[in-house]
Amino acid sequence: MSGAIIAPALPQISREFSDVPGVELLSRLVLTLPALFMAILAPLAGYFIDKTGRKTVLLVSLVLYAIAGTSGLYLDTLPAILVGRAFLGIAVGGLITAVITLIGDYFEGEERSRFVGTQAAFAGLGGLIFISSGGVLADVHWRMPFLIYISSLLVLFMAFLSIYEPLKNNQENADKKQGGEDAIITSVIPPKVFWIYAIAFFSAIVFYMIPVQMPFMLNSMEGISNTEIGFAIAFVNVASVTTSLNYNRIKRHLSYETIMGLVYVIVFSGFLVISYAQSYVMIIVGISISGLGFGMMMPNINLWLISSAPARMRGRLVGYLNSSLFLGMFLSPVAIQPLIKISTLYNSFLLMGVVMLMLAGVFFVYGRRKYLQ
């Protein structure tokens, strides 16, 4: 919900501050700027998580989330709102890094893969509820979706009562299982981690095409309200819940690489439908198909990383992963803009889908080669 909640209000924000130079880009940054600060601060959050503990970073991040998230309710200028969104990004960077690190600490093996699927499903369900609510509230006033961020205070209360710090002995034992004593002494980052970061960066660019570009695509259609825009974007979460909940079953039979190839093929199919859609219903169909792929994407990337990271370095390496993801989200409108300029907004989905299809072939070949070995 961190950025996409206010996506349905973007066209209204653009009109509200139409006298601001560069408002077309700046209004999009209201959505994506948090991702830039998530990317910058997530490694620092990972450092503090490993040094001071998981729970402290988690609770502080939840408080900042509520304060910064609701700033759009009362700040009167677009630059001031962007500053508030920057602080929201800092909060989310700490929050997500702490959560993913705790999953790696609390669970192992199949239980871990089952939990990351459940976590992704809850994220999808939350996206459905909050983004849809954001669309409804945006029809009341463009400021109203910012009110939803105060819900983090409820999570703060629950986290304070239930979250506990993992024992250091458990972390050292996990290190020994993963890479022996050398992994603890040298703290060498496994080389494959860097490939995971690159995959996460590109996948985030693709994922954020829907919340960034879809409001403007749908706003060009006659008679489409902010509520309908919010519902359309939320459909990516409706579909993602299905595959997220079944991620553990899929992981039993397929490698990480093969799952990423499958994700890219499914998202390509959804983007293909979107690129040729002439109606609101067909766009929802395309978004829903893409959501089936995205539902496997995040649990697969997160599990791939935390399964590869030595436990003592887990917070830092998860922080770098989140930097890769968030930087991809922030750069999504920048990376897609050239595709829009050389073609159209619709065709940009087709062109990106073709790139994903080609990468899927690479993943399938590499995954099969590892299986044969």
Instruction: Give 224-261 pLDDT, tens digit per residue.
Output: 887 888 888 878 877 888 888 888 888 888 889 999 99
d(CA 169, CA 304): 23
Residue 171 has pLDDT above 60, yes or no: no
Tell me which of 77 and 171 has the higher pLDDT. 77
- In percent, how much of the chain has pLDDT > 90? 30
Contact 242, 327 (CB under 8 A): no
Q: Which domain holds residue 33?
A: 4-372
Q: Which residues contact 136 (CB under 8 A, 6 or more apart)?
A: 226, 227, 230
- Is it the case that residue 172 has pLDDT exceeding 80? no
Q: Which residue has the tokens 């024992």?
A: 167
Give the pLDDT of residue 60: 94
Q: Is the dihedral of CA 208, 330, 99, 160 positive or negative?
A: negative
Mean pLDDT score, 139-146: 89
Q: Could you give the CA distance from residue 320 to residue 194 in angstroms, rounded to a whole number? A: 9
Which amino acid appears at position 290 of this protein?
A: S
Residues near 225 by Cβ (< 8 Å), separated by ≥ 6?
Answer: 135, 139
Alpha helices in 107-166 (DSSP H): 109-140, 152-162
Six token digits for residue 72? 């759009």
> CA–CA separation, 177 vs 172, rounded Å?
9
Q: Please tell me whether residue 52 adopts helix, strand or coil conformation.
A: helix
CATH classification of the domain holding 365: 1.20.1250.20
- What the block records as the tokens of 7 is 């996506």
Question: In whole angstroms, what is the distance from residue 369 CA to residue 373 CA?
Answer: 6
| Alpha carbons 214 and 221: distance in angstroms, whole number | 11
Using the 8-state DSSP alphabet, how is residue 223 labeled?
T
Distances from the Cα of 33 to the Cαs of 39, 87, 123, 336, 354, in angstroms?
10, 10, 20, 16, 28
Rounded distance between C-alpha atoms, residue 281 and residue 131, angstroms: 18
In total, how many domains does the chain have? 1
d(CA 134, CA 130): 6
Residue 159 and residue 29: Cα distance in Å, rounded?
30
Q: What is the pLDDT of residues 272-326, one digit of tens each?
A: 999 999 889 999 999 999 999 998 998 899 889 888 877 777 778 888 888 898 8
Q: What angle do CA 264, 268, 269 make, to 5 degrees?
A: 120
Q: DSSP letter at 343? A: S
In terms of DSSP H, where are the helices of the chain?
10-16, 23-52, 54-69, 78-106, 109-140, 152-162, 168-186, 192-207, 209-219, 226-245, 247-253, 256-276, 280-308, 314-342, 345-372
Tell me the mean pLDDT in the region 109-119.
85
Averaged pLDDT of the chain: 84
135 vs 328: which has the higher pLDDT:
328
- Residues 194-222: tens digit of each pLDDT: 999 999 999 999 998 888 888 878 877 87
- CA–CA separation, 108 and 180 (whole Å): 17
pTM comes to 0.75
> Residue for token digits 């924000």?
13
Q: Which two tokens stand for residue 189?
A: 């980052």
